[in-house]
Amino acid sequence: MTTHRLASGRTGSRSRADALVRRAARWLVDQHRERLPFCGLPADCVPVDVDEAYAIQDAFVAAKARDCGAPVGWKIALSNPAMQRFVGLDEPVAGRLHARQLVASPARTRAAAYGRLLIEFEIAVELGHDLPPRPGGYTRERVADAVAAVRPAFELADDRGADYATLNAHGLQLVADNAWNEGAIFGERRTDWRRLELAELFGIVTIDGQQVGIGSGRDLMGHPLDALAWLASHASGRGRTMRAGEVAILGSLVTSKFPLPGERLGFELEGFDPIELQID
C-alpha cells in the first residue's frame, strides 16, 4: 500500500477529489462534535485509496485544530499485522496529536465527553532534531539520533461505539478519522533513555489497583524505534517533516481498555514513575 501524496493527471479528477475531501472532513467534524455513533462515510465521500484517506485526514486535522490546537505530534495505530488484517489494511496507520489535547499525569477526564472512550498504554518519544523527507525513508539507527527524551503515555481515543465485527469494511475511514485520537497524557521525561533497553521494558496496566494487562517494548513492531522509523518513513513518503519538539506515541503495549466512570487507570512503564488517569 503506497503512502505517496494524492495526485491526478486531470483537472476534473483533482476537482472531484478535492470536493470529496472537503465533504468527508466536514462530515467527520460534525460526527465528532455531536458524538454520533460510528458509521460508514456517506457514499459521496468514501476515499478510493489510502492516499485519498490521508488527504481527508489532513483536512480533518486542520478543521479540528481550530478547537483543539495545532498538530504538535504524531501517533501510530495498528502496528500489529493481525490488527491491520482485522480492519482490511496491510500497514499501520499514522495520525496527528493536537496541542490542547496533551496533558501531564496525573489527569482526569469524563467518560460522557466521548462517544465511547478507549485508553491505550504507550511509549512516547520527544524529538530533538527534525526528521525531514529523505530517499529510502528511515531506519532505527537514524531516528535514534533524533530522540531527545522518552516518556510513558496514555492515549485517549474515541471509537464512538464502533462495531468491530464490521471494521474491515471501514479501514480507510479509520485513516481518514485520524485513527480516532482524542489526546494523550504524559509521564516522567527521561533524557538518559539510551541507558534503557527500550525493547525489554515491561509495562503493567492496572484498574483500581488490580493488574489487567502486561506488555513490553517488543510489542511495538519489534522495537519502539522501529515503530518510530516507520512513522518517520511514512511522513517522508508524504513529503512531511517530523519536527524537533514534536512528540510521537508509538502504539499500545497492552490491549486497549474501555474504562468506566469512577475507575482509576494506572500504567507503570519499567524505569519510570507510574502515571494515572481518573475517569469521572
Sign of CA dihedral 241, 246, 249, 250: positive
SS3 category, 68? helix
Mean pLDDT over 3-26 rounds to 68
CA distances from 28 to 60, 76, 183, 203 (A): 7, 20, 17, 33
Direct distance between the N- and C-terminal alpha carbons of the chain, in angstroms, rounded to an integer: 41
Domain around 81: 11-279
Q: Evaluate whether residue 199 is within a structural domain.
A: yes
Q: Evaluate whether residue 6 is within a structural domain.
A: no
- Specify the CATH number for the domain of residue 213: 3.90.850.10
Q: Evaluate whether residue 1 is within a structural domain.
A: no
Using CB atoms within 10 A of its CB, is residue 30 exposed (0-12), middle (13-18) or buried (19+)? exposed
Per-residue pLDDT reduced to its tens digit, 78-137: 887 777 887 888 899 999 999 999 999 999 999 999 999 999 999 999 999 999 999 999
SS3 category, 157? strand
Given the DSSP bridges, would you call strands 247-252 and 210-216 parallel, antiparallel or unpaired? unpaired
Q: Evaluate whether residue 158 is within a structural domain.
A: yes
Q: How many domains does one find in the chain? A: 1
Give 160's DSSP letter: T
In angstroms, rounded to a whole number, what is the distance separating the alpha carbons of residues 50 and 67? 26
Q: What are phi and psi of 63, to 5 degrees?
A: -70, -40
Contact predicate 247/72, CB 8 Å: yes
Q: Evaluate whether residue 5 is within a structural domain.
A: no
Per-residue pLDDT reduced to its tens digit, 167-215: 888 899 999 999 999 999 999 999 999 999 999 999 999 999 999 999 9
Contact predicate 29/177, CB 8 Å: no
